[in-house]
């Protein structure tokens, strides 16, 4: 299993670069950042510095969207980074949550997302594509490669992922939900005539390494509770689309948002988010990895058995450096069983 580190691009940007460099030294092979230009610093500027300072790490957004930037701009950015640093980028993409809603705009449709994925990949790899009725190509691209990994939860999003994406980003680490969603993606890939095994599976969630004591676990849960609120934004969209008691979406995913009252993006992705008090402890335990290293390893082995290729550690809590060190010394490189 590969390991990634996910960070917000809070200033100073140099701190994000330094922690990514340390992560590579500790065995992490992917470096991811949030991409919400209003809330955080511009990620691609920081990505260029990470790529310059590292040797093997693959870098990308978790996740960008088709509306914040024109598709040709996104493709050209990735293609430029790849030309400079040797095809070491990945495009994580979704409909747009914080980047769009904080600016007062709704997420894009799945149809728009599907078209954008194809266009961005084609352009970044040197092929001609059509955008808004015009044929476009980046004539300077040579031997470019850009995997496009899609994030999603609902049945239609999972189907689109299986049909068209190179990878699937699942932002939670619950084994039962992971199994359900991976099956859906792989079935969609098979139905589209693809090899299901060609779709890379990435699970992303907060990880907090701590002692197995009530006080330590309670603190870790509070540091990671924000994640249930972030996932809840997407779950609320699913409930609005499919209904509260729909067979299309597992109740194990949707039931916990009943007490959700709203969401202020000023606290998005941050420990202590006051809008996530509705998230119960059992959701934090299911969606995140919390506790001593042995507990993390047990969950990671469950996920690997389900076909997960990468676990990406969200480190938005008070122990960023500690979790990188703990994973590097006690978890990465350990036997799969």
325-334 tens-digit pLDDT: 999 999 998 8
C-alpha 156/C-alpha 46 separation (Å) is 33
Confidence category of residue 98, pLDDT binned at 50, 70, 90 = confident
Rounded CA gap, 107 and 81, in Å?
27
Report the predicted TM-score, pTM, of the whole model to 2 decimal places: 0.95
The answer to whether residues 323 and 285 touch, using CB atoms and an 8 Å cutoff, is no
- CA dihedral defined by 117, 122, 128, 132, rounded to 10 degrees? 10
In whole angstroms, what is the distance from residue 205 CA to residue 198 CA? 23
% the chain with pLDDT above 70 = 99
pLDDT at residue 27 in the model: 98
DSSP state of 67: S
Query: Which residues is 7 bridged to in the sheet?
Result: 33
Q: Which of the residue ranges 35-44, 184-193, 258-267, 282-291 would you say has the lowest mean pLDDT?
A: 258-267
The answer to whether the beta carbons of residues 327 and 5 sit under 8 Å apart is no
CA distance 69 to 71: 6
Cα Rg of the chain, angstroms = 19
> Does the pLDDT at position 262 exceed 80?
no
Both tokens of 27, joined, read: 């065995």
What are 84-97's pLDDT values in tens digits? 999 999 999 999 98
Of 70, 76, 72, 48, nearest to 60 by C-alpha is 48
148 contacts 198 by C-beta, under 8 angstroms: no
Q: Note whether 171 and 231 are within 8 A (CB).
A: yes
SS3 209: strand
Whether the bond into 122 is cis, omega within 30 of 0: no
Please name the residue that has the structure tokens 């955080």.
Answer: 40
CB atoms inside a 10 Å sphere around CB 215: 9
- pLDDT at position 237 is 86
Q: If you count them, how many residues does the chain have?
A: 337
SS3 string, 216-268, reads HHHHHHHHHCHHHHHHHHHHHHHHHHHCCCCCCCCHHHHHHHHHCCCCCHHHC
Could you read off the pLDDT of 136-175 as tens digits, one per residue? 999 999 999 999 999 999 999 999 999 999 999 999 999 9
User: How many helices (H) and strands (E) would you count in the chain?
Assistant: 13, 11
| Residue 283 CB contacts under 8 Å (≥ 6 apart), including other chains | 228, 256
């Amino acid at each position: 299993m590969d390991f990634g580190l996910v960070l917000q691009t809070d200033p100073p940007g140099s701190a994000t670069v330094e922690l990514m460099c340390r992560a590579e030294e500790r065995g992490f092979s992917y470096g991811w950042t949030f991409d919400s230009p209003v809330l955080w610093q511009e990620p691609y500027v920081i990505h260029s510095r990470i790529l310059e300072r590292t040797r093997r790490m693959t870098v990308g957004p978790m996740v960008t969207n088709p509306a914040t930037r024109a598709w040709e701009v996104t493709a050209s950015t990735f293609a430029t980074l790849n030309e400079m640093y040797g095809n070491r980028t990945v495009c994580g993409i979704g409909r747009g949550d914080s980047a769009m809603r904080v600016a007062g705009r709704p997420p894009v449709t799945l149809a728009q997302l599907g078209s954008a994925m194809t266009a961005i990949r084609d352009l970044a790899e040197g092929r001609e594509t059509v955008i808004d009725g015009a044929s476009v190509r980046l004539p300077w691209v040579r031997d470019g490669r850009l995997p496009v990994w899609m994030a999603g939860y609902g049945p239609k999003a999972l189907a689109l992922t299986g049909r068209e994406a190179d990878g699937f980003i699942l932002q939670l680490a619950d084994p039962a939900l992971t199994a359900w969603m991976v099956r859906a993606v792989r079935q969609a890939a098979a139905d589209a005539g693809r090899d299901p095994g060609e779709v890379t599976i990435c699970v992303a969630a907060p990880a907090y390494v701590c002692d197995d004591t009530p006080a330590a676990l309670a603190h870790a849960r509070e540091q990671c509770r924000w994640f249930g609120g972030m996932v809840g934004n997407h779950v609320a969209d699913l409930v609005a689309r499919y209904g509260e008691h729909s067979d299309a979406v597992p109740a194990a995913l949707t039931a916990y948002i009943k007490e959700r009252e709203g969401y202020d993006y000023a606290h998005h992705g941050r420990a202590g988010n006051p809008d996530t008090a509705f998230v119960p402890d059992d959701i934090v335990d299911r969606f995140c990895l919390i506790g001593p290293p042995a507990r993390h390893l047990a969950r990671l082995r469950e996920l690997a058995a389900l076909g997960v290729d990468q676990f990406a550690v969200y480190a938005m809590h008070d122990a960023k450096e500690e979790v990188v060190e703990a994973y590097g010394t006690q978890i990465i490189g350990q036997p799969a069983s």
